[in-house]
Amino acid sequence: MAKKKIKIKFTNIFLLIIVIYILVQIILWTIGYFTRTMVLDEEDINLQVKEKGLVVMNETLVKAEDDGIIKYDIDSDEKIQNNKLLFTISKSNVNEKINEKIEVLENEIKDLEQKEKNKSSNIILNKKEELKILKNQKQTYYTDYKAPISGVALFKYDKNFNISVDQLDDIDSKMLDSIENNFISIDKKDHKVSQDDVVLRLIDLNQVYICIFQDKNKEIFKEGQDVKVVVNNSEIDAKVEKIYDKKSEDVVAIKIMEQNAIIYNTRVQEFGIIYRKIQGFKIPIESVVEKNKKLGVYVIDEENKMPKFVNIGEDYYKDAKYYYVDYNKNKESLNLYDRILLYPNFINKNIKVSR
């Protein structure tokens, strides 16, 4: 009887082991089946940072030198050359009548010159002398204003901002708290102005900068580096002109290389700065683990369905959400269409991934 009882106990233990084994396999299969994976696909990736920046420009405020009625000869945001006519100021309504007389007289002289064989006849000479007198009178009531520099004409200005490009070395992040976008619009239609009124703002296209402020341990930017500034979803060509080394921060002066009216009418704003463009993989930060002092991901072997650790390589960039791996510089590690564990843990790293 004792031997029979022992046999029954061994049989029960053996059956229990089989049941446990089957249950473990079912559990492992279930975990493997529901383990989340991700297929690596090559993307065009813009590596960028978002920073609050200060716009600094060389700008000229053009003021009226006389009282009168202003009439503009340019449009807003127009690119102009030095010495181009910007506007005129008529000192009185008399000027309009003089203009009408000048136009009539010029047409009369033109008709007479076509009819008269002798263009030096007394009638024509007298008419020309009368025209000369009228034009001299016009100068008394009518003043032309020409551009003192080449640049862009703008109908907005900020009278409280007086930092120029020559002062870039004095800028720091503390200034961001005291500066606001406080632009005043200028009427573009004919209107009455008084002496010393601001009637136009001119921007030197070659002297427009965005200053951003970086912690000293960040080495994203280098002098001479080509970058893109993102404003309202548009990418603007720019260049890191100079990096000023301050005690607690680095001031990065980014020079704007193409025309953009939004920047000209901004003092402080958060800008996106694209500092590099790559073709590569965007890997969630949760998928990357460290093993043997190397960063990598677990790639599913498509033959045996087992995960294996693969180094992501040396050329990668990181932000709060992703690792960005340059595929062209890391072809000996990760491959296109590799399937990786999305959330590797101590269990799914060591079992077959069912799907």
For residue 93, what pLDDT band results from cuts at 50, 70 and 90?
A: low
Compute the distance between CA of residue 239 and CA of residue 54 in angstroms, rounded to an integer: 15
* pLDDT at residue number 354: 66
* pLDDT at residue number 100: 81
Could you tell me if 198 and 62 are in contact, meaning their C-beta atoms sit under 8 angstroms apart? yes
Q: Mean pLDDT over residues 163-182, rounded? A: 88
Q: Spelled out in words, what is the top-level CATH class assigned to the domain 48-54+174-277?
A: mainly beta
Residue with the bigger pLDDT between 263 and 333: it is 263
Query: In Å, how far from its chain's centre is CA 249?
Result: 22
Q: Report domain extents, the chain.
A: 10-40+292-341, 48-54+174-277, 62-151
Mean pLDDT of the chain: 85
Could you tell me if 281 and 327 are in contact, meaning their C-beta atoms sit under 8 angstroms apart? yes
Q: Mean pLDDT over residues 296-306, rounded? A: 86
- What tokens does 232 get? 């309202």
Could you tell me if 211 and 229 are in contact, meaning their C-beta atoms sit under 8 angstroms apart? no
State which H helix or E strand residue 115 sits in.
helix 94-115
State which H helix or E strand residue 62 sits in.
strand 43-63
- What tokens does 309 get? 């650790």
- What tokens does 87 get? 């506007």
Q: Mean pLDDT over residues 280-309, rounded? A: 89
* pLDDT at residue number 147: 94
Q: Mean pLDDT over residues 91-98, rounded? A: 68
Residue 290's closest CA among 312, 266, 306, 315?
Answer: 312
Q: Mean pLDDT over residues 6-12, rounded? A: 64
Neighbours of 325 (CB within 10 A): 26
